[in-house]
Amino acid sequence: MSGTWALDSEALSLYLRADRKMTARLAVALQDDVRVVIAAATIVEADYAAVHPARLDWTLSRLAVVPLGQDLARAASNVLKSAGRHGHKYAIDAMVVATALAAADKPVTVLTSDVDDISTLLGDRLDRSGAERTGSSSKVKILPV
- Mean per-residue pLDDT for 106-127? 96
Q: Which pLDDT belongs to residue 115?
A: 96
Secondary structure (DSSP) of 50-73: TS-HHHHHHHHHTSEEEP--HHHH
> 108 pairs with which residues across the strands?
4, 140
Instruction: Return the half-sphere exposure (C-beta side, CA atoms, 13 A cut-off) of residue 38.
Output: 25
3-class DSSP assignment, residue 140? strand
Q: Which pLDDT belongs to residue 134?
A: 52
CB-based contact 111:143 (threshold 8 Å): yes
Q: Which pLDDT belongs to residue 138?
A: 75
Q: Which pLDDT belongs to residue 121?
A: 97
The percentage of the chain sitting over the pLDDT mark of 90, rounded to a whole number, equals 88
Q: How confident is the model at residue 46 (pLDDT cuts 50, 70, 90)?
A: very high
